[in-house]
Amino acid sequence: MSDTRHQFKLKDVSEVVIGASVLALPLAITEEAWDLGVSMPLINTVGIAVASVVILGLFIHHSFFAGDLQGRGKGFLMRVLSVYGLTLLVAAAALLAVDKLPLLTEPLVAIKRVVLVSLPASFSGTVVDSLRG
């Protein structure tokens, strides 16, 4: 018997995007996020990205897989990477909308800003996706 809760479907995509938007949009319009994107060292940005993925993995492991990954490692990895990837896109779109994504002129600043905005947004996206009625 296959548990559909482990599959990442179109409904999950929409839930993650909506949930991520809840925090990405307000954070993308803050001057603090813009300034941190300029001043924060790259190593800190990498640390934030890694921490985000690890925490997402822990939450997804517990919420979607009930702590049992046996035979479902690929689905687990797919869900973690999909959630974080979608969140990065939502954060980039939010920053682009407020003209604070200098991807062509300052790509490193743009990446740092996206990672910063994605930190809380990825968590809200996952929480919304985990809510089942």
Report, in angstroms and rounded to the nearest whole number, the Rg of the chain calculated over CA atoms: 15
Quick: pLDDT tens for 41-83. Answer: 999 999 999 999 999 999 988 887 777 777 777 888 988 999 9
Quick: pLDDT tens for 16-39. Answer: 999 999 999 999 999 999 999 999
pLDDT value of position 1: 37
pLDDT value of position 92: 97
Quick: pLDDT tens for 88-108. Answer: 999 999 999 999 999 999 999
